[in-house]
Amino acid sequence: MRVENRMSRRYLAILITIAAVLTLQFIVPVIQYPLDGANRWGWQMYSRENPRQDIVALLPDGERVEVEFSDHVFGVRAEMRLTAPVLEQLCDRVIDAESLELYSPSSGELESVFPCNR
């Protein structure tokens, strides 16, 4: 009887562990689903892109040139953020750019200006 009792406890522990893992695999995406955009661990993780900021390069003569991010960076992914190291590399690739202006894709308002150190 004691051996059977230990075995049934062991099977119960295994069953509870499996149920917990399966529940977790369902609950985490359900929590992520209503959040806006693609979210890690959510069902739509790679199914839609977050709108990327529009990038405009300011040249020394005052001309503004729109920069297509994907033309300068290979393997662009939706979750890639335009942080300082990424913008520094972009400054190096856009010839003669004095600064990069980042505009909101929804409102078109200027969000930030990143100076290109030359």
Mean pLDDT for the chain overall: 77
100 vs 53, more confident: 100
Residue 67 belongs to what H/E stretch?
Answer: strand 64-67
- Pairwise CA distance, residues 2 & 97, whole Å: 78
pLDDT of the residue at 22: 94
Provide the β-strand partners of residue 39.
none
The pLDDT tens digits for 43-86 are: 555 555 555 678 888 888 989 988 887 777 666 665 666 677 87
The pTM (predicted TM-score) of the whole model is 0.51
pLDDT band at 90 (very low <50, low <70, confident <90, very high): confident
What's the distance, CA 60 to chain centroid? 32
Alpha-carbon distances of 110 from 67, 96, 102, 107, 113, rounded to whole Å: 15, 21, 6, 9, 8
- Pairwise CA distance, residues 76 & 58, whole Å: 23
